[in-house]
Structure 1
Amino acid sequence: MSADAHGTTLGLDHRKLAMWTFLGSEFLFFGAFISAYLLYLDATGSGPGVEIFDIPFTSISSFVLLMSSLTMVLAHHAHTQGDMRRMRLWILATAGQGMVFLGGQVFEFTVFYREGLNLTQSPFASSFFVLTGFHGLHVFLGILMLLGLYALSVTGKVKPGQHVKTEMIGLYWHFVDIIWVVIFTVVYLIPDLAMEAAA
């Protein structure tokens, strides 16, 4: 194996190892938030609960976010091929889909607020907004990373041979998508199916 200034004794780039370590800690954070949500699922007080969720709307925004993983893969592939024009195109497409998802989340939160579901309304509401809001923050940070990568590639500070940078941002973005699959399933789908079964 050739000498690599970024290598570790494990044969893995230390930047990738750091990213995997960071993502592992983030899984623990989200696990705690999801557990809290499940704990307070029925603690709605006199306010609204899962019955106000709009599953079709959230499904569409979820699909958009999941498709952004595909465009992220295409961006990384283009970078490995040295095609910086296409890499930048797919980076912008990924960031754009992330923005669409965030816009949908803001709209959803606004609707919930009008229907009486707000952060301090009940333990259920608090756990819901903290969990989904924390994820939304991660999406926002991912968008900033993508736009930063785009800007660096335009100015020539990220070159064709430096695709590890795109790969690491891709790892983070895929993590955000995977976490949302878990959140969407636990927060939206399972309670909805339980309500239909009980009806």
Structure 2
Amino acid sequence: MPGWRIRGCRMSDGSTLDHHSPYETPLHRDESALAGMWLFLASEALLFGGLFLVCLIYSHTRAGGWALGVRHTNLAIGAVNTLILITSSAVFTMAVEAARRGDNRRVVRAGLGAAALGLAFLALKGIEWGQEFGENLFPGPHFALHGPDFGGAELFYSFYFLATFLHGMHMVVGIGLILWICRKAHRQAFSPAWNTPVDVVGLYWSFVDLIWMLLFPLLYLIGRA
């Protein structure tokens, strides 16, 4: 059975460590991996949290311009993408459960499904961006929106493009990680004794989903009525 290597040491099921490993036990190794991901996600939460806070402040202090910008976003694509990400997160949860049972074949199927949905999200976001660039909604000298607070609308789109770009980059990383999991599962790497990488990637993918759940109302709903 293909195994996992740490510093050149082949591990058939992740249940043993050699004397070169920096970890005392397999449990220590797995807990360190999960703790590392939680620490990384905490730092990312600070990044996005600051962005959310600024967005909320400007959505109130520049309410007219912000609402003008929100009304020009594509609510249909935003809503569909929200459903896509919720579904993708649920599908990858199946991969996590399958890995804990050692069902590598199901890990591959669920992982590929989650990755395909992630790609669909990015494709729709690309279409949306294309429409917005075509309508001159990118902040700059040719910005198309006008009104009493067009500066607020331009500010909205500055945050809109920054936030969706950052989220999109996290999506790309997440899809890459899921495909890596699929590759390892195809090689029968996971078992009830060792499946931590799937848990770690599942945490990351759920975080990406959560970020979009917070972005959606900020960028598509607040001030739209």
| TM-score bracket for the superposition, by shorter chain length | 0.7 to 0.9
1:4 aligns with 25
Alignment correspondent of 1:126: 158
CA shift at 1:155, angstroms? 3.3
For the 8 Å contact 1:44–1:123, the answer to whether it is kept is no
State the secondary structure of the residue aligned to 1:116: coil
- The amino acid of 2:48's aligned partner reads F
SS at 1:7 equivalent? helix
Unaligned runs of 5+ in 1: none
Larger Cα-atom Rg: 2
Distance (whole Å) between structure 2 residues aligned to residue 127 and residue 36 of structure 1: 9
Separation in 1 of the partners of 2:63 and 2:133? Answer: 17
Aligned-residue offset at 1:71: 0.5
Moved more, 83-92 or 52-61: 52-61
Residue of structure 2 in register with 1:51 after alignment: 71
* CA RMSD of superposed structures (Å): 2.1
Counterpart among 154, 168, 182 of residue 150 in structure 1: 182
CA distance in 2, matches of 1:159, 1:180: 30
The answer to which structure has the higher helix fraction is 1
> Which whole-Å CA distance do the structure 2 matches of 1:140 and 1:163 have between them?
22
Instruction: Measure the CA separation in 2 of the matches of 1:119 and 1:106.
Output: 17
Q: Counterpart of 1:4 in structure 2: which amino acid?
A: T
Q: TM-score, normalising length from structure 2?
A: 0.75
Q: Report 1:1-199 matches (<5 A).
A: 4-7=25-28, 13-41=31-59, 42=62, 49-120=69-140, 121=143, 122-156=154-188, 158-160=189-191, 161-192=193-224, 196=225
- CA shift for structure 1 position 36: 3.0
Q: Give distance in 1, aligned partners of 2:163 and 2:58.
A: 12
Alpha-carbon distance in 1 for matches of 2:104, 2:53: 42
State the one-letter code of the partner of 1:58.
G
Count of residue correspondences? 185
Q: Which range moved further: 180-189 or 122-131?
A: 122-131
Shift of 1:39: 4.2
Residues 141-179 of structure 1: CA deviation (Å, up to 9, x unaligned): 0000001111122234x3323211100000000000011
Q: CA-to-partner distance for each residue in 1:106-165, whole Å, 9 max, x for gaps?
A: 111111111111154533222110011100110110000001111122234x33232111
Aligned residues of 2:70 and 2:221 also touching (Cα < 8 A): no
Partners of 1:148 and 1:173 in 2: how far apart?
A: 13
Gaps (5+ residues) in structure 2? 1-23, 144-153
Percent identity (aligned)? 30
Aligned 8 A contact 2:137 2:157 in 1: yes
Cα deviation for residue 6 of structure 1 reads 4.3
Amino acid in structure 2 at the alignment position of 1:175: F
